[in-house]
Structure 1
């Protein structure tokens, strides 16, 4: 009987001690920001102009994202965020590339595969297959590449057909209908041609030179032709889930951009 009482006392003591140490749920990670990074050509050696970025700098960018737990997402994820009405926990980045340099296939693609990173590539359609630009066969190979699990990480969008100043060209047209026809051609033809070479629909547009951000005529033309996003060159981050998908800001990653500037924009 005495032994039983001792056991009971020990059990009660253990329960009392355990009650003093309540398990506290970790605080949820606060909502983050989304930064859209804008690249052009990635050079194997040193960058030759301001808009190029060396492969070493590009690798440093990806390492910075990884080390700072910045999740790489794409525009479909951005649409899902908007529809959910809630920003994701932690910071995110969207990788974008403008124009169509062949470094996308030779340099960028293998690196992104290594990092299992998504990216969106905006094509200057008239130039594809010319000079140092990527060709359609390589576009097809990239756009059909699939990660394990069925995810296609490489999306192709339009950077227009002829890469004009969309807003700046307005003064060339005395008739508003002619100007709308000009816009329609740039949105429609680029989309039509790209869709002949990639799976799915082309729904993302990047403004040439960043010209015309927020212009109602340009946005209306984009919507007429089935686009859901316009990426601009407005220097800012996405801070709320209700951001305008036809006025998406971006940060240019230039030759002289330091990788840690990504964090400065995100408040790190």
Structure 2
């Protein structure tokens, strides 16, 4: 009886570990770019979901890992425009948290890493980047700014005219904030439909990222998959995500 209980316990532990550490997934060839999804980089998750907040120390370790593995940091538009050879990674940040300037940006400068930040200029509930911070980040040559709708709405549920306005207005406001053309878009909540994809294309965007997890060659620049990095993602899970596209079921 004790042997049966031990076997069952071992099986349950194995299933748990395999579900949270997907070592069994096949490795994805390093010629495929890695597009990572972040939100906030902060020591505290006060007021928002802890999953959206990566501690600065962990983020720095992730940058060190990527450098050690030989990845080259690109913005999303740079990646798509130049299609560089070798191992490439794109760091993307949704929403436009102010800590992208206070916490994340110093680390990017330290490691000369590039990133793309998708701004939702009138999103509620977060401390947002201001224009002086945006300009400093832009002038560094390390940051590309994209759009994320004005109010961070679910485009798939919005009336077509509202969705179109949110997309076009966010592009215009981001261009006013940065003084540069805005080519990149991120679907809020990863929610969108075929009509939204057409709307993004019609306003002159050249790419759009989703929240669908995975690593692949980019065949459709308006449905780009990303690797989600959460506040709870540990070093082993990050390695599995970078090599396999996701680390848990």
Structure-2-length-normalised TM-score: 0.79
**Matched ranges for 1:90-109 at <5 A:** 91-109=87-105
SS in 1 for 2:51: coil
Task: Spell out, residue by residue over 1:138-165, the C-alpha distance to the aligned partner (whole angstroms, 9 max, x if none).
Answer: 11221122xxxxxx22111111101111
Deviation of the 1:122 alpha carbon? 0.7
Q: Which runs of 4+ in 1 moved over 4 A?
A: 45-48
* Alignment match, 2:153: 164
* Alignment match, 2:17: none
Q: Structure 1 residue 206 and structure 2 residue 186: aligned?
A: yes
* Alignment match, 1:121: 117
Gaps of 5+ in 1: 1-29, 146-151, 170-178
Q: Structure 1 residue 43 and structure 2 residue 42: aligned?
A: yes
Task: Evaluate the alpha carbon distance shift between residue 262 and residue 244 of structure 1 in structure 2; reply closer, same or farther with a 3 A threshold.
Answer: farther
Among 182, 186, 195, the residue aligned to 2:162: 182
Structure with max Cα Rg: 1
Among 123, 133, 153, the residue aligned to 1:138: 133
Q: Given that residues 121 and 174 in structure 2 are in contact (C-alpha distance below 8 angstroms), is that contact kept between their aligned partners in structure 1?
A: yes
SS in 1 for 2:235: coil
Q: Given that residues 72 and 94 in structure 1 are in contact (C-alpha distance below 8 angstroms), is that contact kept between their aligned partners in structure 2?
A: yes
Gaps of 5+ in 2: 1-28, 245-249
Structure-1-length-normalised TM-score: 0.73
Deviation of the 1:105 alpha carbon? 1.0
